[in-house]
Structure 1
Amino acid sequence: MASKPTAGRRKRASSVKEAIDKIETDPALGLTGPFANSPPTPPSEGEVPSPLVAQKNGHVRNGVSPKKRAKAGLPQPDFLSNGLWSDITSLNWARVPTSALFLMMIPLVLYLQWQIVSPNGANPFRYLLMVQYPVAGTSDPVMYQKGYGDVAFLAYYIVVFCFIRQSLTLYVLRPLGWKLGVQKEAKLDRFAEQGYAIIYFSTSGALGLWAMYHSPTWYFQGRHYFQDYPYWKMTKFMKSYYLLQFSYWLHQFLILVLRLEKPRKDFKELVIHHIVTLWLINWSYLVNLTPIGNAVFITMDVSDVFLAFTLLLNKLKLEKASVVAFGCLLFVWTYTRHYLNLCILWDVYNHFELIPKWAQQWAPETGAWLVPWMKWQIFAPLALLQAVNLFWYFLIWRILFRALFKNKLADERSDDEDDGQPDGDENEKDD
């Protein structure tokens, strides 16, 4: 179909809305991280798109039940089980909630059976389900230390996060998006991904603030990152929170590296980002610097909530609300990812020497790891993280500036937003 002349055409949306679209879809930004899917493969030349479109059972991929898909000769959704053993060997359990649930239940059942058979004996399955290694002689509260059994805890909750993510996505967020008027498959995926981001990061951000509130570092009191070192004893809450964050990012890294989702154009950049994140989490936990790790978690998680909320409003075509949310995002991003993170860097540079003299040695048996050169081991990855944030910050402002003053973002849409399915007023002829 020949394109119409541009004169007199109705604008699809404001330039600010297009700026928000650009933030989400531009692979150079990489802001949505693991929550962004790749564009679907376009139909080959001459291929007629399937007439089957999203129905009210919006939790089913492509909106079509497996029975109807088989009848129409369409491939089955990737979240259907191929059998438990096949799902385990192929790692398809990361996509299939029922298989992930079965894997979750095995240790729980074994734990309960062990408790019945030997209630007074040491239950080996407890390492999978709950944090261990209480410090003898501590009470009110009981304090905990690290141990090799923490690896079992991490492994179990990787499965838990796969189950939670896929269950919320398929059975809650996609149907909710459908009811709110999001009907295209790609947009339903985006809606679900940003909805999950809001749920996870708002929860982790609140838990992080709670943990900081009950520690000497409230509110970003940087001197206490070091003058009270080493933090080899943790409350049960702090240890659980930290290991759950670790499990979450390991689960994201697993999905990314094993390509359980179709890789994006910025796949390499996302892998590097995840490696740096896991490096920071692992080392802060290993060398007993959880308070500074918690501070970084808070600055990143809180801003991610506003980013996801802005993109979700944009998917719902709530233009005015998304513009307001975008303004809030810029403020929160500036404060958390730059001001607070620069304060943390300043504290590392200026307060590292406040570490007690006896702890300025490499003596893991005492909980002390911070010899003088470790100052730069802490400072360097945090500075790298700040550099990445500043790069993204510059791109956000440049996109917004061009949208507001140069109008260079007119009708920019990525392929994954246009999958050939109707979506409200977009059924009209292309304007």
Structure 2
Amino acid sequence: MLNPLFSPLGSLTPERSASPVYTNGKPSRRPSVSPWLRWAVHPSSSLKLLLVPIVLYINWELLSPYLVPGISNPFGGFFLISNRLPSSTPEQSFYGKSYQDLLFLGYNVVFFSLVRQVVAVKLSRRVAKYFGLKREAKLDRFGEQGYALVYFMVFGAWGFRIMGQLRTWWYRTEYFWIDYPHWEMTPELKRYYLMQIAYWCQQFLVLVLGLEKPRKDYWELVAHHIVTLWLVGWSYFMNLTLIGNAVFMSMDIPDTFLAFSKLLNYIQWERAKVYSFVTFIFVWTYFRHYLNLRILYSVWFEFELRPEASRIWKAVDGVYLVEWMRNQIFLALGLLQLLNLFWYYLMMRILVRAIVTSKTEDERSDDEGDDDEDPKED
């Protein structure tokens, strides 16, 4: 029986719950972090931190007309996108980059820490217990994939919706470069992009704090996170959000199917998990390889479509596409594709072994590290 237990990207959520796991009313496996980072592992701390800018924002709105009239609210940048451009119209608003984006990023790193704890620990564990899972390692991992499913399903659908509003709809790659720089963003595109960056910053924080148990492909996962942060940071800074949206969507949609397949495996829905795994293979192949190779082709062969005036490095005009940037963009996307090919190779080995021998154990199975758990599962 096919067993889609492996995670070709590594788990994109921590292998161990970062908030206390309660057994018989007592907390266990509480991670040790600095008091300054309690918000990263305790949902109550992150919620309190998230409420502070909102309370300050409301107080400013109520009191500033009497105390400091005419001064804009300095706390909105934490949870509202900033820098509405003069080119906006009553029908359509446009936003540019701003230093306040850093406040928005920091706020949403805390936000994703809260969401991760609520979904992975509070909600998914209850679902797992409903389906009969009792071992702590299984409950943790079910929670991880529950969070992954929610995140990638929401952001995959959101990215799909945003691309539908752009000229790049369904990978019309020439529009990655035509009329560059694309520094005027719709409110939805800017919020989506910054929240994606915040998510990956939060995931990298998980690795740095050691909140997940290292796996056999730990260094590949670290490399993936570094390359991803490189791509999302540079693409936002260099006004390449259209190609960034295309890359995000090609990654998030297959990850949704991956998380769903793993959840079915945990609850042992045998036939459903086989169909889900086969579907996942096709979705991964199309999005992670075919579409990403189209993007790489565009970077190398359609780069010349950028306007002549943008072929300089001039920050004041938001243009950065000098000739050597072709190599820089291609290198980052190429490294990401190599990592995807590595995981694709592991997937194909499992698939071939399943067909030939009916054995589907993964070299880096999610059961790693379960030896310390009670081997009995009622």
Query: Normalising to structure 1: TM-score of the pair?
Result: 0.81
Indicate conservation of the 8 Å contact 2:299/2:330, yes or no. Answer: yes
Amino acid in the other structure paired with 1:198: L
Query: What are the residue-to-residue correspondences of 1:279-298 with 2, within 5 Å?
Result: 279-298=230-249
Indicate conservation of the 8 Å contact 1:129/1:156, yes or no. Answer: yes
1:225 aligns with 2:186: no
Structure 1 runs of 4+ off > 4 angstroms? 407-413
1:129 aligns with 2:79: yes
1:189 aligns with 2:140: yes
1:235 aligns with 2:186: yes
Indicate conservation of the 8 Å contact 1:201/1:305, yes or no. Answer: yes
Amino acid in the other structure paired with 1:106: V
Alpha-carbon distance in 2 for matches of 1:369, 1:163:
36
Amino acid in the other structure paired with 1:156: Y
**1:267 Cα deviation after fit:** 3.2
**1:60 Cα deviation after fit:** 7.0
RMSD of aligned Cα (Å): 2.2
Indicate conservation of the 8 Å contact 2:105/2:198, yes or no. Answer: yes
Alpha-carbon distance in 2 for matches of 1:215, 1:362:
25
What corresponds to 1:251 in structure 2?
Answer: 202
What corresponds to 1:360 in structure 2?
Answer: 311
Q: In structure 2, the residue corresponding to 1:132 is in which secondary structure?
A: coil
Range moving further from structure 2, 204-213 or 111-120 = 111-120
Indicate conservation of the 8 Å contact 2:220/2:339, yes or no. Answer: no
What corresponds to 2:48 in structure 1?
Answer: 102
**1:409 Cα deviation after fit:** 4.7
Q: 2:377 aligns with which of 392, 400, 423?
A: 423
Indicate conservation of the 8 Å contact 2:14/2:206, yes or no. Answer: no
Q: 1:63 aligns with which of 11, 20, 23?
A: 23
**1:420 Cα deviation after fit:** 0.8
| Structure 1 residues 120-173: Cα deviation after superposition (integer angstroms, max 9, x where no partner) | 421111111111001114112110000111111100110011011101122211
What corresponds to 1:346 in structure 2?
Answer: 297
Query: What are the residue-to-residue correspondences of 1:18-167 with 2, within 5 Å?
Result: 20-21=4-5, 23-24=6-7, 29=8, 31-35=9-13, 37=15, 61=21, 63-66=23-26, 76-78=28-30, 88-89=35-36, 91-119=37-65, 120-139=70-89, 140-167=91-118
Alpha-carbon distance in 2 for matches of 1:33, 1:285:
25
TM-aligned CA distance change 1:286 to 1:421, over 3 Å = same
| Structure 1 residues 258-287: Cα deviation after superposition (integer angstroms, max 9, x where no partner) | 223344444333222111100000000011
Gaps of 5+ in 2: none
Query: Normalising to structure 2: TM-score of the pair?
Result: 0.92
**1:327 Cα deviation after fit:** 0.4
Q: In structure 2, the residue corresponding to 1:260 is in which secondary structure?
A: coil
TM-aligned CA distance change 1:410 to 1:121, over 3 Å = closer
Q: In structure 2, the residue corresponding to 1:423 is in which secondary structure?
A: coil
What corresponds to 2:220 in structure 1?
Answer: 269
What corresponds to 2:282 in structure 1?
Answer: 331
- Aligned identity (percent) is 44
Gaps of 5+ in 1: 1-13, 40-58, 67-74, 425-431
Alpha-carbon distance in 1 for matches of 2:143, 2:28:
20
